[in-house]
Structure 1
Amino acid sequence: MLVLRREQLSLWDAILPEEVRTFNAELTEVSRWLDDERFMEPFVKKFSTHIGRPTVPVDTYLRLMFLKFRYQLGYETLVAEVQDSITWRLFCRLPLDMAVPHSTTLIKLTKKYGEKTLEELNTLLVQKARRERIIKAKKLRIDTTVVEADIKHPTDAGLLADGVRVISRTVKKIKTAVEKAGENLASFRDRTRTVKTALLAIGKVLKRRSGEAVKEVRKITGKLITVAKKTVTEAKTVLELCKEKSDGRVARLTTTLEKFVSATEQVIAQTEEVQSGNRRIPERLVSLFDPEARPIKKGKLKSPTEFGRKVILEESEERIIVGFQVLKGNPADNTLLEDSIDRYRKVFHRPPLAVSTDRGFYSKDNEEMLRGKYVRQFAIPKPGKRSAERKQLESSSRFKRLQKWRAGGEGTIGLLKRKYGLRRSLFRGTLGNNCWVALSILTYNFTRIATLSLEAGS
């Protein structure tokens, strides 16, 4: 049963002195905005408020998530800090005589509510700020960035070793569960030590930094392919033997094993391609634990290739993220502009007066599209050779002004990555990554709108 709010104070909260019950200016303003009943609508539409066991109040969950991303805390640390702080307890509407929700409860609630609900919350927040004249949002600057997945830097040998390790670990759990039921499985050889020795050998060889070292690494990688193939073959035998098992735990572990066997087979195939000299492999797997993560090149000197997901951010002149999307794969920027304008129109029910992007978004079709959607001004530099007419257009004061304003979007992206966790998603999978991005941006918007609201009131 969905519980929206906990309205009544406990006796202990009521007798606290005023100094203890007072938040700082930012938390006070954020609390006032969160009191709006409209923020409950996305939850009420999807979940019943009459049937089932009572949940953690939605209001309390949102406040806990704000603190988590505002101060970049882990779930366990968040629970400990809120448990220890009277001010944070009162902000989260948690009475002094009540336990703070367990960290695993918050994790499950995040998965349950999903990214769509969180995206709706951001839309409602932006619309509320527009109604209260905190923002005008007449201009739009658009850029893309990469949110890294929580994985180590992938190598062919490392992925093969991961496959052998995780398959061996899962089979060991299956054997334990089956043996408890009084049955036995065929022998499965754990080759974890073999792959560990191979990885250590690669590390020693690479210290030489010579052409011979590269050949030796390929030779060791070839041995790892053989080890991985044997592990996969034996794992398939285990799967065949477990087909008829009705035990729920065995069934869940079997499903997990099937997933890792399939992923390891893909790693073996792509490693054999690399060994044969083909380094351009479409849909290359970069992690067994986050298969949807992609290698993305953004032309950065510090990190030429990043491993994660591409995100498009749409920002207003008040530095509010009015729209965003976590993208699948690495689509070209110039294919994303129309969707961004449509998202803006869906939120504000009108086109933006001005749009500014970098040269990656340029195409003649995009300029025609902006004119067709009644965008009065736009500044998208053209890459490559430009005509005299184009040079004159890009030298105009209006174009330069919009481009200078667009450059400020890099600062917002830097702030999101440095202070709100957008650099690296610590949630796994597509659903987890989407929720992480949505919560990070929602927290940033609440903080920014609270600041603007306080400035307007002063």
Structure 2
Amino acid sequence: MYRKKDKKTQELFKDLMPWGGKLNENNRWLRLQELVPWEELEAEYSKYFSENRGRPGLDSQLVIGTICIKHMLKLSDEDAVEQVLENPYMQAFCGLESFATENLFNDSSLSKLRKRLGKKYFRQLEKKVLEVLKERKIIKARGVLVDATIFPSNVRFPTDTGLLNEVREWLVKQIKEIQKSAGVKWIRTRCRKARNEYLSFSKKRKKTKKAVREITKHMLQYVRRNVEQAANLIEEIRVKGTEVKEVIHRKIEIIELIFKQQLDMYRRKSHNVKDRIVSYAQPEVRPMVRGKAGKPVEFGPKAELSLVDGYMFLDWLSFDNFNEAKKLAESIKRYTERFGKKPEKMIGDGIYGNRDNRNYLKGEQIRSALKPLGRKSKTQEYQKEKCWIKKQQRIRNQIEGFIGHAKEHFGLNKIRYRIDGGSEIWVRMGLLAMNLDTTLKRLPAR
């Protein structure tokens, strides 16, 4: 259930200080509060709750405000809730009328609400804030800069033996729990022997190819044995009328796929396989070969980004290593949806300069800062266009800096959400936090 409250004509923090102190109107949180359309967001927020059943949900401004604070300051859920409790300006941003001195809510509620709201709600949040920026003429849309990047997921660097040992440990844990709850005959999982073998291998300073191949073979044998044991055990208790949770079935399916991939690579003496799973906890993550210095391979979703007047937006996000040149039309479409018009110019690096994109931009009457094809000309018009393209390509470097800034200061160097659609939520909120920070620098002091 969700109840709306009237927030009009209420004095801000009436009982905050007994000596009649006031909050500084130039504080960033009070200025940001005016940029977020809380009432419109509350109308969307209330749709995710029953009208007359259950306990009343947390106030929308309190929840969304805390999530914004979390991403703007790179905090954990626990620290974000603690910061709001300690800071009167943050409490004002979150819509509280008086200073709260006790816990507002449990930090686990944020995770549950993100899961309930889903990525669709956070798309609406981004859209509503953008409408305010356009209405107040803070953002001026003329051209668009496009680029792609990888936002790394919070996964351990994958190794074949480590991944197999991880799934083996999970299988053994589930087998023991099912045996204990169902009261069936105890099964020998050989978990102690497998653990000792893995620890002995992992402690080696230098791991030879022969040693790696040997431990991989043993881990494959243990996993195959434990998968068969788990399947037989689940079938045994099912006959007796007991069913295991659906999530266990899904995880066993993932483990079987991991086993098939690892067995295939072991037999072929290779380290490549199609749609390779590198993390048991996040099976959607794929290795992205980028070939960049220091990071030849990255693990996380690939994003197509647009930069408009210093504001960055997410156009496309996928765990597949797509060709960003094929997403240019998608970026132009998203720009048109956001601003109600086509961009005057498009600036991108050389990968966007294929013939399909050139023909598309020409058909849409969008000027492109792409190096012209064919022979060089000595005409004045050609030289003038060449100078303009060089100037625009220098401007293109801005988007590289903005991407680095987002990763360094707004938590996009590591995606930590693991819920369904969590990667998109994390990226959108990180970009929204950066856009709000950009807006703060443009707003005049009161």
TM-score, normalised to structure 2's length? 0.89
Structure 2 residue aligned with 1:221 = 216
Residue 85 of structure 2, aligned match among 76, 83, 86:
83
Structure 2 residue 169 is matched with structure 1 residue 141: no
Structure 2 residue 374 is matched with structure 1 residue 387: yes
Name the CA distance, whole Å, in 1 between partners of 2:164 and 2:25: 52
Structure 1 residue aligned with 2:400 = 410
TM-superposed deviation, 1:450: 2.5
Name the CA distance, whole Å, in 1 between partners of 2:408 and 2:308: 20
Structure 2 residue aligned with 1:251 = 244
Structure 2 residue aligned with 1:372 = 363
Alpha carbons of structure 1 residues 393 and 192: separation in structure 2 relative to 1, 3 Å: farther
AA of the residue aligned to 1:115 = K
TM-superposed deviation, 1:187: 2.3
Residue 126 of structure 1, aligned match among 106, 125, 130:
130
Name the CA distance, whole Å, in 1 between partners of 2:84 and 2:251: 38
Residue 261 of structure 2, aligned match among 261, 270, 288:
270
TM-superposed deviation, 1:4: 4.9
User: Deviation string for 1:52-88 (max 9, x for gaps)?
Assistant: 4321111111110111111111111222222233333
Contact 2:347 2:368 in 1 (8 A): yes
Structure 1 range deviating more: 6-15 or 54-63: 6-15
Structure 2 residue aligned with 1:432 = 422
Alpha carbons of structure 1 residues 48 and 330: separation in structure 2 relative to 1, 3 Å: same
Structure 2 residue aligned with 1:185 = 184
TM-superposed deviation, 1:147: 1.4
Residue 301 of structure 1, aligned match among 288, 293, 297:
293
TM-superposed deviation, 1:286: 0.8
Count of aligned pairs: 438
Structure 2 residue 390 is matched with structure 1 residue 400: yes
* Secondary structure of 1:299 counterpart: strand
Structure 1 residue aligned with 2:251 = 260
Structure 2 residue aligned with 1:181 = none
* Secondary structure of 1:347 counterpart: helix
Structure 2 residue aligned with 1:292 = 284
* Secondary structure of 1:251 counterpart: coil
Structure 1 residue aligned with 2:2 = 2
* Secondary structure of 1:148 counterpart: coil
Contact 2:85 2:91 in 1 (8 A): yes
Name the CA distance, whole Å, in 2 between partners of 1:38 and 1:374: 36
Structure 2 residue 220 is matched with structure 1 residue 230: no
Name the CA distance, whole Å, in 2 between partners of 1:413 and 1:133: 24
* Secondary structure of 2:421 counterpart: helix
TM-superposed deviation, 1:44: 4.7
TM-superposed deviation, 1:14: 5.4
Alpha carbons of structure 1 residues 16 and 344: separation in structure 2 relative to 1, 3 Å: farther
Structure 2 residue aligned with 1:72 = 74
Structure 2 residue 99 is matched with structure 1 residue 100: no
* Secondary structure of 2:90 counterpart: helix
1:39-50 alignment runs, 5 A limit = 39-44=41-46, 47=49
* Secondary structure of 1:296 counterpart: strand
Structure 2 residue 441 is matched with structure 1 residue 448: no
Quote the RMSD (CA, aligned, Å): 2.7
User: Deviation string for 1:175-200 (max 9, x for gaps)?
Assistant: 3433xxxxx12323344433433333
Structure 2 residue 147 is matched with structure 1 residue 155: no
Alpha carbons of structure 1 residues 11 and 397: separation in structure 2 relative to 1, 3 Å: closer
Contact 2:303 2:314 in 1 (8 A): no
Alpha carbons of structure 1 residues 453 and 220: separation in structure 2 relative to 1, 3 Å: same
Name the CA distance, whole Å, in 1 between partners of 2:248 and 2:193: 20
TM-superposed deviation, 1:301: 1.1
TM-score, normalised to structure 1's length? 0.87
Name the CA distance, whole Å, in 2 between partners of 1:192 and 1:72: 39
Alpha carbons of structure 1 residues 374 and 53: separation in structure 2 relative to 1, 3 Å: farther
TM-superposed deviation, 1:381: 4.6
User: Deviation string for 1:192-243 (max 9, x for gaps)?
Assistant: 43343333333355x346xxx2122112211111111111111111211232
Name the CA distance, whole Å, in 2 between partners of 1:127 and 1:140: 18
Structure 2 residue 351 is matched with structure 1 residue 360: yes
Contact 1:161 1:224 in 2 (8 A): yes
Structure 1 range deviating more: 31-40 or 417-426: 31-40
AA of the residue aligned to 1:80 = E
- Give the percent of matched residue pairs that are identical in Structure 1 and Structure 2: 23
* Secondary structure of 1:134 counterpart: coil
User: Deviation string for 1:263-305 (max 9, x for gaps)?
Assistant: 2222222122222224331111111110111111222211111
Contact 1:264 1:288 in 2 (8 A): yes
